[in-house]
Amino acid sequence: MILADPAAGLRRAALPKGALRRAHDELVGNAADPLAVIDDTYLDRLLSSGLGNVDGWLSQDVETELAPLNELTTMYELLRAARNYLIHVSDHSVERLRAALVDHAAVDSSYRFTRTVTPTTFIRWMAASDGARLREVVEVIPKAWSLMAIAEGVLFAEQSS
């Protein structure tokens, strides 16, 4: 979306450094190539504060359409942590899964997980109640994509006018 908006680099360069601390000066010097300053660390930090957080890159109308993504952030982080845990089953992945569960349980108390984390206990817990939790977690992706498609439509309309 940033590439589709020719004003994105200039818009972001005009704002305070914020999460873009390391690369802000580079952006100010070359606002025509905004993707040159966006790295995975910046994106991880930005998206962990809210999936709809665009840090000033996009117009206010596009940001408004993306704002509901913020409500999906803890669910998305839970999905990501669960995937990493089930693939890696490491001490680090257990810690991240527990943290994601605690964060999402603050939003939805039905996600309080009090057992020892093992692949079996976690999968059974997610699949309980006819898979209600599992369904909710995996539905975060189509919900997010729908919101992003709407925001891209707003961006396209802005560029067409």
Residue 125 has what pLDDT? 97
Are the C-beta atoms of residues 50 and 71 closer than 8 Å to each other?
A: no
The amino acid that residue 106 corresponds to is: A
- Of the candidates 79, 66, 90, the one whose C-alpha atom is nearest the C-alpha of residue 141 is 79
Residue 75 has what pLDDT? 96
Note the helical H segments in 58-139: 60-66, 73-88, 91-107, 119-138
The rounded mean pLDDT for the chain is 93
Instruction: Look at residue 19 and tell me whether its pLDDT is greater than 90.
Output: no
- Of the candidates 62, 85, 31, 55, the one whose C-alpha atom is nearest the C-alpha of residue 148 is 62
Q: Report the pLDDT averaged over residues 117-134.
A: 95
